Each structure stands twice: as C-alpha cells, then as structure tokens.
Structure 1
Amino acid sequence: MSKRIDVKDLNVYYGDFLAVQDVTMTIEPRSVTALIGPSGCGKSTFLRTLNRMHEVIPGARVAGEALMDGQNLYGAAVDPVQVRRQIGMVFQRANPFPTMSISDNVLAGARLNNRRMSKSDADDLVERTLRSANLWAEVKDRLSRPGSSLSGGQQQRLCIARAIAVRPEVLLMDEPCSALDPISTLAIEDLIAELKTEYTIVIVTHNMQQAARVSDKTGFFNIAGTGKPGRLIEYDDTETMFSTPKEKATEDYISGRFG
C-alpha cells in the first residue's frame, strides 16, 4: 500500500511570496521521515504541499515536481480530493468531530467518500481501525460516546484512526504530539512505529529526541532571515544526521545552539 514520493525543485508560493524554495528529496515507502527546523522555516507548508492541503489558502501555488510512484500529484488531470484520500493528514491539535460518536468519527471519511456499508461491515471497520490505532481496548465499551469525551492523547489516536480508515498510502503528521503529555506522546510514537510497516509516514516535529526515536530519515529546514524562503539544508539517514551532520547549521540546531 505505501508509496514512494519524489520531490524535485519544489517551490511553494503564497501569492508573490516565495515561502519554500528548491526542495528536492525522496521519501521512501514504509518508513518514517522527520522534518525538523526552527519555527517559520516552511516545514508545515512543505508537508501540506504533499497532499495539496495548502491549496485551500487563496493564492497558494506550487512550482516543481511532486511524484508519488511516478505520478505527478499536480498533473492537470489529477483531482486534489483524490490526492487527499491517498495521502492522509493528522494535525497538531486533535480535532475529532465533537458532535459525532467515537465510532462515527472513525467512519466519517468512508461515508464522505460515498462508501455504503452494512452495519456489520461498519462495525468491523471501526474495530479493525481502532485496533490499528491502539485505541480499541480503551474505547470498545463506549463507542457511542462523543469523540470529544476522550483524553487528549486518545483524541489524537482517534484522529489517526479516522485518517487510516479510508486506507491511504501515505500519512502526514504535523506536530502530532506537541499538545500531549509524555505518556500520550509515547503512545503515539509506538503507534507510528507500528504503522510504518504499512504506510509511508512524514512527521513534522520540534522535538529532537522524538525525531531521533521515530524516524528513519530526517530533513533539516532553515531560513536565512525574515522574509526569506525556507530551504531544505540537509537530508540524510537519521542516525547520520544526529551523529555526523554535514552542515554546521544542522549541527548547531540539533545541539541546541539555535532554534
């Protein structure tokens, strides 16, 4: 199911403003790629270009290439809605639909895609997906309760369940643990490690230890100053990035000398 993504000379604009410049990288299937760097350097903007979520902002556009298993995600005949079905996203703050039950939250994407299911098929999908998100044991006796009744960490795992219920090939995560306590963060990190056996995962994080723990490859973004575009400074195996980075700026950021 998981897919390889090849990005070449990608530039992201908001109107005339160049926000991210000349990103070239390969994101391998069945792996976790972490994007690190100081605030405002374009990590989340770049992440959103991978499933065309940035297009919801008026004036946003992309130049360059983003290919998934050779298919241009920005091809003229490509439907951005279909891209977002194939490349799911989990946001910084857990956002379960507050008026929906836990089970209806899981089924929301499938129903949005006009997928008709019998009750038994729906029940099977809910259980299978919540098990995949390591949440089933905690919520199986209260599936009819609102998703918003869960703890913060449980809500984030519910949002991950909602994202994978539609069977995407890639999962994007924008600082999924930034609002969580250490125990909930560990639960999400354990889940990421399990999910990478099936999905290609890209995660934005400000937590250096988290990037070192969960990722196979790491990309360091930086910005030269206010009003300048963000750039990918270095991209390598995580172990190499955290032990012997090639760029001084990478070493300075990872060691805490700036950022």
Structure 2
Amino acid sequence: MAKRIDAKNLNIYYSKFLAVSEVNFTIAPRSVTAFIGPSGCGKSTVLRTINRMHEVIAGARVEGDVLLDGENIYGSDIDPVDVRRTIGMVFQRPNPFPTMSIYDNVVAGLKLQSGRISKSDLDATVEKSLRGANLWEEVKDRLNKPGSGLSGGQQQRLCIARAIAVEPQVLLMDEPCSALDPISTLAIEDLIQSLKEKYTIVIVTHNMQQAARVSERTAFFNLAGVGKPGQLVEIDETTKIFSNPTDQRTEDYISGRFG
C-alpha cells in the first residue's frame, strides 16, 4: 500500500554546514508532489532524506523526523536498507546496469532482497514490472539484450521498472526527464499519472510546466540568502501555487523574476 510521508522540523547537514533548515510537510498516499525551486536550494537534498540516501555521503546527517505512516524512518531501530526497499528512487540520468540484460536489470534488486526465487516468479515479475513501466511491448522480444542498448527514454522506464519490481510503497524521482527528449518526457509523465494509482510519488523538477502537468501538490524551495540554508517557502495545491501563491517569493519565482 502507498504510504503517507510527514517531515517534521527537518534540518539537513553536510558536516557542520546546514544545507536545508526547518522543513515541514505532509504528502498524501497515492498522489504526486513536485519539488520546484532554483538550483542549489535543497530540493534534491530533501528528496534524498526521504529514503535515507542523504546519509551515504560522508559527514551528512539529519535532525528532525521523517515519518512513513507515522513511523520515524530515522529511528534507532530502523534499518536504512529496509527503508530504501520501501521507498524506491529513480535518478536524474538513466542508469541501467550496463553489463546486464534488460531482464536482469529488472530483477537485480529483487534478487538482492529475496535471495533464491523461482524462474517462473522472476519471469512474472519482469513482465509485471515492464508492463507497469509501459515498456513491455517494446522490449518483450529482446529481454536478453543489454539494457544499455535502449534509447534514453526506454532506459529511464527500465530504471522505473527496476524500482517497482521490489514493490515499494513510495517512489522518488530526481529530475527523471532532464536528460530526455520531449517525446520520452511525455512518456514518463504519462507513466507517472498511471503509477500514482499504486504509489506515493515525489518528483524534483526544474520544469515548472512539468510540475503543473503531473502533480496535485507543489512545494517551492528557495535559499534564505547567500551562504544561508535552503528552506521550504510553501507547499500547497499545484493550481494554487501557480495561480495564487501565498508567498511573494513563490510569485516572483514562477513569474520568472529570478531563478
């Protein structure tokens, strides 16, 4: 089942440097939330804290809470590996494993998670995941070919198939279309709309038109000033953010006065 996400008094550090301060938000299950804002304001940093990817960077740490259906994923008894199984991630550039086939790319995470699985179960997972990523019809006759031989848009959908093969409840996407052509971008956006029926989705994007197209809610991040931490300025219904934001800084950004 898709999960609700709550961030409470979240402060994110790189060693002693406070990168993002006092972030609070709620993200509903089975919805799409977009993070927008200028470069360097902390959007991707906040995204990575939601599945504890931030802490793999040396010296990085988090203060505050990130709750998944009320359970703090930063609790002392929580295994970060389990968190990352529950909260999948798709990165900015497609990153299929270059030496693996399309088939093996899809089940790579599943094999690590579950150990020995029957061939019939693997076959079923591959087809289900590729169908879920709207890629099955394009690759079903070449599953043993390298994943790196696909087009950029197909590779990104393959990475999405790999992410959903382990059946997460949340899917994080860090600018998943920034390296893609317009046709591939449209395919990913259509896919996001179908995936939200099962998953809670959070997407970082520099493309405000994309945020308006795919999300129900939008969070605007900005820098507090030169040398100061990033901050969440406001989060609201996407239509309100783009038509009648509460904060003047949001209005200035979406109208092109800065950024």
Report the TM-score when normalising by structure 2: 0.99
Q: Distance in 2 between matches of 1:46 and 1:169?
A: 18
Shift of 1:216: 0.6
Shift of 1:227: 1.8
Shift of 1:116: 2.1
- 1:58-103 per-residue CA deviation (whole Å, 9 max, x = no partner) reads 1111001110001000000000000000000000000000000000
Q: Distance in 2 between matches of 1:121 and 1:64?
A: 40
1:175: which partner in 2? 175
**Mapped pair 1:243 → 2:243:** yes
SS in 2 for 1:172: strand
Alignment of 1:23-34 (within 5 A): 23-34=23-34
Shift of 1:151: 0.2
**Mapped pair 1:151 → 2:129:** no
1:64: which partner in 2? 64
SS in 2 for 1:100: coil
**Mapped pair 1:11 → 2:11:** yes
Q: Distance in 1 between matches of 2:226 and 2:135?
A: 42
**Mapped pair 1:197 → 2:179:** no
2:207: which partner in 1? 207
Q: Distance in 1 between matches of 2:145 and 2:224?
A: 48
Q: Distance in 2 between matches of 1:115 and 1:209?
A: 42
Give the letter for the 2:114 counterpart. Answer: N
SS in 2 for 1:113: helix
**Mapped pair 1:217 → 2:217:** yes
Shift of 1:121: 1.1
Q: Distance in 1 between matches of 2:62 and 2:149?
A: 39
Q: Distance in 2 between matches of 1:116 and 1:187?
A: 34
Give the letter for the 2:153 counterpart. Answer: G
SS in 1 for 2:239: helix
Give the letter for the 1:246 counterpart. Answer: T
Alignment of 1:78-93 (within 5 A): 78-93=78-93
Structure 1 residue runs of 4 or more that deviate by more than 3 Å after TM superposition:
none
Q: Distance in 2 between matches of 1:197 and 1:116?
A: 30
Q: Distance in 2 between matches of 1:5 and 1:101?
A: 34
Report the TM-score when normalising by structure 1: 0.99
Q: Distance in 1 between matches of 2:76 and 2:238?
A: 35
Shift of 1:251: 0.8
- 1:210-250 per-residue CA deviation (whole Å, 9 max, x = no partner) reads 00000010000000333210000010000111110011110
SS in 2 for 1:201: strand
Q: Distance in 2 between matches of 1:66 and 1:55?
A: 13
SS in 1 for 2:114: coil
- 1:129-188 per-residue CA deviation (whole Å, 9 max, x = no partner) reads 000000000000100000000000000000000000000000000000000000000000
2:98: which partner in 1? 98
Q: Distance in 1 between matches of 2:103 and 2:76?
A: 36
Identity of paired residues, percent? 74
**Mapped pair 1:38 → 2:44:** no
Consecutive unaligned residues in structure 1, runs of 5 or more: none
Q: Distance in 2 between matches of 1:212 and 1:206?
A: 11
Query: Aligned residue pairs: how many?
Result: 259
SS in 2 for 1:99: coil
Give the letter for the 2:233 counterpart. Answer: I
Superposition RMSD on alpha carbons, in Å?
Answer: 0.6
Shift of 1:114: 3.1
Which moves more between the two structures, 115-124 or 127-136? 115-124
